[in-house]
Amino acid sequence: MPFLKLRDNAELFYQDWGNPKGEIVTFSHGWPLSSDNWESQMIFLVEKGYRVIAHDRRGHGRSTQNWTDHNMEIYVDDLKELFEHLNIKDATMVGHSHGGGEVTRFLGKHGTSRVKKAILVGAVPPLMLKTPSNPEGLDKSVFDSFREAMRKDRAQFFLDVPTGPFFNFNRSGVTKSEGQIQNWWRQGMRTSFKAAYDSVKDFSETDFTNDLKSINIPVLVLHGDDDQVVPIGAAGLKSAKLLPQGKLKIYPGGSHAIHNINVDEMNKDILDFLKN
């Protein structure tokens, strides 16, 4: 399995599939998951001739479970090292949820010299936390309850999230997939407690407003209008307006996990955006 030794000797696990000379698409996963969460999109694009690259953020999945440094500045610097190591150029970056924040801050901080397009899927920007200037956000008590539940019984909490709001399996008429639930749990429990715990603050309190405004490439924003984890009103709708070249597509009834549930539609939307 490929690992990159980073500047502080932490090791970053990554998957590099497909045509070595193909157009590159990178994937950044959501909380508290790993690169495995993108497998439906990755295999689809490989079969279309693309090269796909996805990593496990530090503390997540198979990457080093360090005690500190679980914040967006470190995450995007790690990703920059991976881009340099693999000589990634003219890529399209795709990020879900927390990973959408990673893509946004990466482009805001490190620029677009290696990236030509981006896709944000149920992504956390511009800001999840409710503040006087962001009344559509979620109250801090919501995120405090995440941390409290993790301290009480992380294993059960990591079953409750996918069983309910993540995939919208708590909605009437939705067919529940036990496989999706168990796969989410598997990925979440493989992530260190410390990384998962600290990342709650990172994805909820990081303000990406200025990053969005500075991104000078086409960005496709994909968001479910029944996203119970990252409400579209505080996220996708605002991001699309802040992005200079933002384009929004709303998935009616879509959950937070539209890339896992609306697989065929999502794959087509990604491919169309790559080609046009």
With contact defined as beta carbons under 8 Å apart, do 211 and 125 qualify? yes
> In whole angstroms, what separates CA 73 from the centre of its chain?
15
* Closest C-alpha among 231, 233, 223, 234 to residue 257: 223
Going 115 to 267 to 207 to 233, the CA torsion angle's sign is positive
Tens digits of residue pLDDT in 122-177? 999 999 999 999 999 999 999 999 999 999 999 999 999 999 999 999 999 999 99
Q: Is 16 a catalytic residue?
A: no
Q: How many CA atoms lie within 13 A of 210 on its CB side?
A: 3
CA terminus-to-terminus distance, the chain? 34
Catalytic residue, from 97, 192, 204, 255: name it: 97
Boundaries of every domain in the chain: 3-275
Q: Does domain 3-275 have CATH number 3.40.50.1820?
A: yes
Q: Which secondary-structure segment (H or E) carries 179? A: helix 178-190
3-state secondary structure of 247: strand
Question: Cα(24)–Cα(160) distance, rounded to whole angstroms?
Answer: 35
At residue 75, the 3 state secondary structure works out as helix
Q: What does the pLDDT profile of the chain (276 residues) look like in tens digits?
A: 699 999 999 999 999 999 999 999 999 999 999 999 999 999 999 999 999 999 999 999 999 999 999 999 999 999 999 999 999 999 999 999 999 999 999 999 999 999 999 999 999 999 999 999 999 999 999 999 999 999 999 999 999 999 999 999 999 999 999 999 999 999 999 999 999 999 999 999 999 999 999 999 999 999 999 999 999 999 999 999 999 999 999 999 999 999 999 999 999 999 999 999
Alpha-carbon distance 176 to 183, whole Å?
A: 13
Beta bridge partners of 91: 115
Please report which helix (H) or strand (E) contains residue 3, including its range.
strand 3-5
Q: Is the pTM of this model over 0.75?
A: yes
Catalytic residue among 56, 256, 259, 269, which? 256
- Which candidate in 56, 202, 211, 227 is catalytic? 227
Alpha-carbon gap, residue 174 to 168, rounded angstroms: 7
- Asked if 76 contacts 206 with a C-beta cutoff of 8 angstroms, the reply is no
Quote the CA–CA distance of 219 and 236 in Å, as a whole number: 12
Annotation marks residue 97 as catalytic? yes
Q: Please give the backbone phi and psi of residue 4, each rounded to the nearest 5 degrees, phi first.
A: -110, 125
Do residues 84 and 90 lie in contact, with contact meaning Cβ atoms separated by under 8 Å?
Answer: no
Q: Cα(14)–Cα(88) distance, rounded to whole angstroms?
A: 13
- Buried b vs exposed e over 197-219: b needs ≥16 C-beta within 10 Å? bbbbbbbbebebbebbebbebbb
